[in-house]
Amino acid sequence: MVDLHVHSTRSDGTFTPTELVDYAVKKGLSAFALTDHDTVDGLDEAMQYAAGLRAQAEGKNVFPHQRDAGRPAVPVPESHPQGFRHMVPGTKTTSSEATSPETAVKSSVLIPEVVPGVELSTEYQGKDVHILGLFIDHHNERFLEYLRNFVASRDTRNHKMCALLQETGMDISYERLLNAFPGSVITRAHYAKYMLAHGYVKSMAEAFERYVGDRCPYFVPREKVTPAQAVELILHADGIPILAHPILYHMSDARLDRLVGELKEAGLLGIEALYTTYHACDERQIRWLAEKYGLLVSGGSDFHGDNKPGTDLGTGYGKLYVPEEVLDQIRQAHIRFVSPA
Give per-residue pLDDT as tens, 89-116. 444 443 333 433 333 334 567 899 999 9
CA dihedral 127, 156, 150, 242 (to 10 degrees): -20
Of 246, 238, 240, the residue nearest 285 (C-alpha): 246
Both 57 and 115 in a single domain? yes
Indicate whether 272 and 123 sit together in one domain.
Answer: yes
Q: What is the CA radius of gyration of the chain?
A: 20
Residue 293 maps to which CATH number? Answer: 3.20.20.140
- Please indicate whether residue 31 or residue 340 has the higher confidence score (pLDDT): 31
Q: Are residues 147 and 176 in the same domain?
A: no
Same domain? 60 vs 101: yes
**Structural domain span for residue 110:** 1-155+225-341
CA–CA separation, 294 and 264 (whole Å):
9
Average pLDDT, the chain: 86
Last residue of a domain, one of 212, 245, 279: 212
Residue 77 belongs to some domain of the structure: yes
Per-residue pLDDT, averaged over 265-269, amounts to 98
Check residues 267 and 75 and name the one with the higher pLDDT: 267
Q: Is residue 232 part of a domain?
A: yes
Intra-chain end-to-end CA distance of the chain, in Å: 29
Q: Higher pLDDT residue, 105 or 338?
A: 338
Q: How confident is the model at residue 151, as a pLDDT?
A: 81
The number of distinct structural domains making up the chain is 2
Q: Whole-prediction pTM value?
A: 0.76
- Asked whether 174 and 156 are in contact (CB, 8 A), the reply is no
What is the percent of the chain where pLDDT is above 90? 72
Identify whether 208 is part of a domain: yes
For 274-318, the pLDDT digits (tens) are: 999 999 999 999 999 999 999 999 999 999 999 899 999 999 999
Whether residue 46 is found in the same domain as residue 179: no
- CA separation for the pair 72, 76 (Å, rounded): 12
Instruction: List Cβ<8 Å contacts ≥24 apart for 321-326.
Output: 321/1, 321/274, 322/1, 322/2, 322/3, 322/4, 322/274, 323/1, 323/2, 324/1, 324/2, 324/30, 324/31, 324/69, 324/71, 326/2, 326/4, 326/274, 326/297, 326/298, 326/299
The pLDDT value recorded for residue 59 is 53
- Ranking 49-53, 85-89, 120-124, 334-338 by mean pLDDT, the lowest is 85-89
Is residue 164 in a domain? no
